[in-house]
Amino acid sequence: MQVFVARQAIFDRAREVCAYELLFRSDNNRNEFDGTESGSATSQVIANSLFGIGLDQILGGKKAFINFDRTNLIGGLRSILPPETMVVEILESVEPDEEVVATCRDLLQLGYQIALDDFVGQPEFEPLTQIATFIKVDIRATTKEEQERLLRTYQPRGVSMVAEKVETHEEFECARRAGFDFFQGYFFARPVVLGGHQIPATKVACLNILREVQATDLDFVRLAKTVSEDVALSYKLLRFVNSAAFYRQTEIHSIEHALVVLGEQGVRQWVALAAVPALAKDKPGELVTHSLVRAYFCERLALLTCLAGRHLAFLMGLFSLLDALLDVPLEEALRQVCADSSICGALLGTDPYGTLSRVYQLACRYELGDWDAVVDLGQHLSIKTPLIGEAYADSILCVQHALHGTTRKTNSRRRVRYAANGTVSIGWEDGAGTERTSTAKLINVSEAGLQLQLTEPIPVHAQVYCNSPKLRISGSGSVRYCLFSRGKYLIGLEFSNGSGWRAPSA
């Protein structure tokens, strides 16, 4: 059984992401799904998230809200759910009888947090409000008076109030003024359109470079000139190409040399990483993440459907939120970047049946959890259903690596790394619990970690053991990133007790 898993962000009052609600559906229940199978679907999505895709990959260190019906709530799912990560969200359809209330009390004792979904203050739910951490209120299904009453009643008890279905910036501001603690919806991806809005000069350079990367064959000389005209972009490019992720022995100082080394696909991805955050400087951070995930997701879907010109799919996903980034109508934003006609047709809906348009529709319907549409569009594009969910999860992980370069909590590096040569034998455990051994090429080394190159991936956070007296390396380390580059995997290890290696004396 295959299960779709998507996510929707939950924000705090500062518009920072604090959690994701996981949206799910079992695809082979698509035609018969009537609510009675929700227990099975939840079981599958939890198993799929924990043991298949991986919660770290989906959540990026944030909490997960997962919907529970009665079957899952009183069943045995608590045994596989980590309480520090999960929030048990009780559906409004669950009857709060004695067994349900007792189960929730048990979950609370075990360290889980409880959320009540689509709450409207029903008296029968009062026992659950006594143990709930979160209460979610649909702001489109309740009046302002009802919302104020719920806030007055439950916030003084220490319950965090979540406004859901927040789809516009105006709704977000209204809910924030009302006093809600958290907000869920796509308000962050909607433009705040201002009359006579002029795009700041600092964003013009980013738009210029986005224009350049749409060509099928990049003109590296002209692109280098465009990048060189902006000091910030030049700095970002040289810092990126000389980073540890590329494990080069000598530094690159020329803009044109850096672009050629990256290659066409690498340049387009670097442009996305450099330009989008600059365009979103005054926006919620999730808008950058959402833009990049959609770009990578569209690119992967284009590959699965064998669409020629996959770079157009990547740019289409990237450009799909330009209106929110620039606070202008999408049509005007696309004119600003001289978007390809096929991209415009897909994003503006003037070519709804083209392959590129269907790829975009599939990406959007997946994000919304519209699984019936996902299956139908996948069939139109001849994409095998299980591959769609894998493409989405891979896109999230790729963006996490691209934006942060690591899974560690801070970006500080406490030990200087030194280039190294040689190979080292390592032992590790794969996702199925099987002990594996591999031979890895040593790229660089420090007293606290290693960087290795392998022909196979190792899961993030997996424990890796190595012992090489000749190289003065021994002990166990945790994988903090696994990046695919040029046909091989670049893996960073962090040794909590030291790698055994010592820096050469001055």
DSSP string, 273-302: HHHHHHHTTTS-HHHHHHHHHHHHHHHHHH
CATH number of 3-189: 3.20.20.450
* Burial of 439 from C-beta contacts in 10 A (0-12 / 13-18 / 19+): exposed
The residue type found at 75 is G
The CA distances from residue 35 to 3, 71, 372, in Å, are: 16, 11, 14
In the beta sheet, which residues pair with residue 437? 427
**Please, where in the chain does CATH 1.10.3210.10 lie?**
201-404
**Please, where in the chain does CATH 2.40.10.220 lie?**
418-494
- Of 452, 445, 441, 442, the closest CA to residue 481 belongs to 452
* Burial of 17 from C-beta contacts in 10 A (0-12 / 13-18 / 19+): buried
Rounded to whole angstroms, the Cα distance separating 52 from 257 reads: 40
Q: Say how far residue 230 (Cα) sits from the centre of its chain.
A: 29
- Of 41, 108, 107, the closest CA to residue 69 belongs to 41
Residues near 239 by beta carbon (within 8 Å), at least 6 away in sequence = none
Helix, strand, coil share of the chain (percent; to 5): 45, 20, 35
Residue 69 tokens read as: 């019906």
Q: What's the distance, Cα to Cα, between the start and end of the chain in Å?
A: 59
Q: What is the pLDDT along the chain (506 residues), one digit of tens a residue?
A: 455 788 899 999 999 999 999 887 654 444 333 343 455 555 555 655 554 555 666 787 788 898 888 887 887 665 556 788 889 999 888 999 999 999 999 888 888 899 999 999 889 999 999 999 999 999 999 999 999 999 999 999 999 999 999 999 999 999 999 999 999 999 988 887 555 556 666 688 888 888 888 888 888 888 998 888 888 888 888 888 776 555 555 678 788 888 888 888 888 888 888 888 888 887 888 999 999 999 999 999 999 998 877 789 999 999 999 999 888 889 998 998 889 999 999 999 999 999 999 999 999 999 998 989 999 999 999 998 888 988 898 888 888 877 765 334 333 344 556 677 788 888 887 766 677 888 888 888 877 788 888 888 888 777 888 877 777 777 778 887 777 656 678 888 887 666 666 655 54
The CA radius of gyration of the chain, in Å to the nearest whole number, is: 24
Question: 418-494 has which fold?
Answer: Thrombin, subunit H (2.40.10)
Tokens 């465009």 belong to 226
**Please, where in the chain does CATH 3.20.20.450 lie?**
3-189
- Of 241, 245, 296, the closest CA to residue 491 belongs to 245
**Which phi and psi (to 5°) does residue 116 adopt?**
-105, 125
Superfamily of domain 201-404 in CATH is Hypothetical protein af1432 (1.10.3210.10)
The CA distances from residue 364 to 72, 106, 321, 389, 421, in Å, are: 29, 38, 12, 13, 46
Q: Is the pTM of the predicted complex or chain greater than 0.85?
A: no
Residue 178 tokens read as: 């009302």
In the beta sheet, which residues pair with residue 65? 21, 87
CB neighbours (10 Å) of residue 361?
21
Go through 271-291 and write b for each residue having 16 or more CB atoms within 10 A of its CB, e for each that does not.
Answer: bbbbbbbbbbeebbbbbbbbb
